[in-house]
Structures are given as C-alpha cells and as structure tokens.
Amino acid sequence: MELLERIRLKAQKHNMRIVLPESTEERTLEAADILLADKIARIILIGNKQKILELASQQGLKNIDQAQIIDPESYNKLDEYADLMVELRKSKGLTKAEALELLKNPLYFSTLMIKAGDADGEVAGAENATADVLRPAFQFVKTKPGISVVSGAFIMILPDDKYGENGMLVFADCAVHPSPNEDELAEIAVMTAQTTKAIAEMEPRVALLSFSTRGSAKHEMVDKVRNATIKAQKMAPQFSFDGELQADAAIVEAIGKKKAPDSVIAGNANVLVFPSMETGNITYKLVQRLAGAEAVGPILQGMAAPINDLSRGCSVSDIVNLVAITANQAAG
C-alpha cells in the first residue's frame, strides 16, 4: 500500500474536524466533496451557506451538504471568539471592535475556531498567500511549548527508489523560515525527524546539509550547521542526526563512505535539512521538476495545532492529501 493511501486510511479512523476557509474556491470545493465522500475528515466550510451550495451544484458536487457550513456574520460564538482574541492580544491593544472586524476574514475566523476547540486543524492557501495564511496562526494559535520556530517539510516521492527510503525522502525547511540560526536549525531538524516518523512512517536518518563535509571547508555557515547538529542530538537523542554533510555524501552510499566513513547517516539519509529556506525551496522544486518527484506538502511543523498552507498552484489531490496529513497531525 502506498504512503498517501495509508495516510488517508489513518485519517478516516481519526475523524478529525478540519476547516477549509477558502470555501468558494473551485479546487477547494471539489476536494471537500472527495473528503466528505471518502470520510477522510469532518469538513468545516466558512462562508455563506447558500452561495457555497450553489457553487457546489454548479460544479456537479454531490456531498457538500454533509459539511458543516458556518457563516461568520451570523455565528452564535462570534462574541466569544472576539473576546478570546482581545484576551490573547491585549498586550498589543487589540479592541473588541477590531477583533470583530478581523473575524470577517475566514482565515482569522478559522484560526479562532481551532483556538476555541471547535476545529482540529486548518488547510488554506489555494487562493491566499502564505503570509496571509500564517499571520493569524502565529498571532493566535502560536507555536508548541519549547519551540520557537515554524518550518515547512515536504515528503518527496521519487521515481528512482535507490535514494532515501525506497525513493522517499523528507526535505525541510522549504517554506517558512528564511534564515535560521543554529538553535532554530536544530529545532527544525528535530521537528522534521518527528514528522518523518509520524507522517512518512520512516525511522528518520537526518542529514544537516552544507557545502562542506566533516570540516572539508571552513566558514561560519559551516559552523552553524555543525553546531546545529550537536544541539539537535542533545534535544532528541532518540533520533539519528549527522552534519555537516554535502548532499552527495548524505544520499550516495559510496561517497558517504569515502567522505564520512564513521557516519551511520552518510550515504543513507532519508531526511535532508537545509541550511536556509532558500536552498530548501530551490532544491525541492528542482527535484520535483527535473526528477519527476511527487512533492507532498508543505507540512507545517512547530505550530501548537496543525495549520497547513497550500501552494496557490495546488491540485485537487494536493488539497485532499494535505487535509489527510493535517487530520493525522491533529490526532497526534
């Protein structure tokens, strides 16, 4: 059974409540119809019920009436959400009038549903920029205790099975934090190891990448990766980390043995942690296009509750897969 099929089956068992704030977006509605038909999650749509059902009818969708459809303008918990927002942002001077205005935005409304315990997770980004999806999440849901940074991982499924775990690797950070320091990079490595075990169902072998392997080059950027590796090992001794490693030393066995002969990771890594988001984002897109890999994600890591951001170029199946992943994250 393929990974994505296993992820969907696991999600069916958990029956999580996942909110889709972009409820009038064509691909999102089609994905919601599939999710409801396959019972992958309980779907919450945000917006005017009549308009959503009309759009669903125009698209020939048969299951949208099974979703919980909430109109923020008339929702009976609107005042409660506004009060919660004021309490959470009192240090910033947020007023109730300002909170009520923000709640007209489905992205803010969805985030408050999660914070209030009325939803388990959120998937958005089909028609909104990443910054707009994540801003309310950072303001009101925030990060997990002890975690200071949010990052984005991709499960990369390659047609060539000789790399990673039978052709599957996890890349991070490819989506959120542009220039992590060594402490943040260590957190990203640990969170990605956790994602790999929980979602990709692999025992993580984590390589922290650089343009140097084991001191072959001297530079402060190399020091950052080496120090982050040491800190990640201390933070999560149950996982295997190594760095700094060059990409070929991380995934090609013969090169790994030559450049880092004492490493249990070199040549055998299934998780690649990049020194910056720039390198991670460029690499995943190149691997996706040039190698014909399937890129599943980004899976956001480090949030106190699962809120995942789609690419605006996403397909219907991308949305379905990310909702299934979000449901599994919510279930723990």
Could you give all domains of the chain from N- to C-terminal order, each with its CATH number?
A: 3-133 (3.40.50.10950), 151-294 (3.40.50.10750)
> How far is residue 168 CA from its own chain's centroid?
17
**Tens-digit pLDDT profile for the chain (332 aa)?**
588 888 999 999 999 999 999 999 999 999 999 999 999 999 999 999 999 999 999 999 999 999 999 999 889 999 999 999 999 998 898 999 999 999 999 999 999 999 999 999 999 999 999 889 999 999 999 988 888 899 999 999 999 888 999 899 999 999 888 999 999 999 999 999 999 998 888 999 999 999 999 888 889 999 999 999 999 999 999 999 998 999 999 999 999 999 999 998 999 999 999 999 999 999 999 999 999 998 888 899 999 999 999 988 889 999 999 999 999 999 87
User: CA angle, 271 as apex, 142 and 192 as ends, to 5°?
Assistant: 15
Q: How many residues in the chain?
A: 332
Q: Are the CB atoms for 172 and 299 separated by under 8 Å?
A: no
**pTM for this model (two decimals):** 0.86
Contact 141, 304 (CB under 8 A): yes
The rounded distance, in Å, linking the Cα atoms of 5 and 13 is: 13
CA distance 170 to 158: 11
